[in-house]
Amino acid sequence: MNTLARKKVANSKRIIIKVGTSTLMYPNGSVNLQRIERLAFVLTDLQNRGKDIILVSSGAIGVGMDLLNLSTRPATIPEQQAVAAIGQSQLMNLYSKFFLSYGQIIGQILMTRDIVDFPESRLNASNTFEQLLKTGVIPIVNENDSVSVEELDHLTKFGDNDQLSAIVAEITNADLLIMLTDVAGFYDKNPNTHQDAVLFSEISDITDAHYQQSGGQGSRFGTGGMITKLKAADHMLNLHAQMVLTNGKVPDTIFDIVVGKEVGTLFTPKD
C-alpha cells in the first residue's frame, strides 16, 4: 500500500462522488430508497466535517422506467429523453427529501457538453459550483438527458456520467473522485465470471492492457461500463488528481476512503 498516496486521499478537501444507476436501483428495477437515504447521510456528514462535496448522480432514466413500469430501456432518443425528464424530477425529489432530513441543502445542476466546450459557459458553470460550495450547498449534477443529443455536428452529449464526473472534477479543481459502482474495484478480468479475478489496489498509469481487461457494457438502466470508468480515471491522472473506484452497495465505505484506508482501486499519479 502506498502510504503517501492514501494520505493524499485523506487530505482531500474537495471531493466528487459519482453514483451509478445500478447503485441506486434494485435488480428488479425498483428504486433503492435505503441506499439513497444512506448516501445522503454520509455526504452530509462529510460536508459537516468541512469537506466540499459534489454529487454526480445517474439514475434519471432508471427512476423514470420504474415510475412508468417499463422493463426495458427505451430504444429511441425521444423516448429516452421523455423518460429521463420524468425520472430526473422524481430523483431530485428523493434527494431533497433525504438530504433535508439531515438539514443539508442541495442544488441541481444539469449539464450538456457545450457548457464545458465554450469558455464563457464553462466559466459560468465554474462560478455556479463555487458559489454553491461557498454557501454550504451540495450540488447534485447530472447530464441533461432530456435535451442532450449526439448526432452529426450537434454534439451536446457527454456520453456517460463517468466522464462527466471527471470533467466536473476538472472545472471545480477537485482533489478526489470517488466512483461508486457495482463491483469492488478494477480487476484483471471480470469478477462476475472469473473466480480467480485479481483486484488492483493501486494504478498509476493506465495502459492498453487495462482497457483490454475492462471489456463489457453497463447495466440495462445505465450507459457506462468499466471502459468509461477507466477513461474517467485517466482524465483524473492527467489532472494530477486521484480517483477511487469501489462498490457503492454500502455508502458508509466512503468514510473509510476519506480517512485513507485501502478500499477498492486507487488511481493516483506517479508523483
76 is in an annotated binding site: no
Q: Which amino acid is at 33?
A: L
Q: Which residues contact 212 (CB under 8 A, 6 or more apart)?
A: none
103 is in an annotated binding site: no
CA distance linking residue 176 with residue 174, whole number of Å: 6
CA distance linking residue 250 with residue 239, whole number of Å: 28
224 is in an annotated binding site: yes
144 is in an annotated binding site: no
181 is in an annotated binding site: yes
8: its cell numbers: 493524499
145 is in an annotated binding site: yes
CA distance linking residue 114 with residue 123, whole number of Å: 12
258: its cell numbers: 476519506
228 is in an annotated binding site: yes
58 is in an annotated binding site: yes
Could you tell me where the beta strands, DSSP code E, fall in 29-175? 52-57, 106-111, 138-143, 150-151, 154-155
270 is in an annotated binding site: no
204: its cell numbers: 498509476
Report the C-alpha dihedral over residues 131, 135, 139, 144, rounded to 10 degrees: -40
3 is in an annotated binding site: no
Count of CB atoms situated within 10 Å of the CB of 99 = 24
As annotated, the binding site for substrate includes 58, 145, 161
As annotated, the binding site includes 18, 58, 145, 161, 181-182, 223-229
As annotated, the binding site for ATP includes 18, 181-182, 223-229
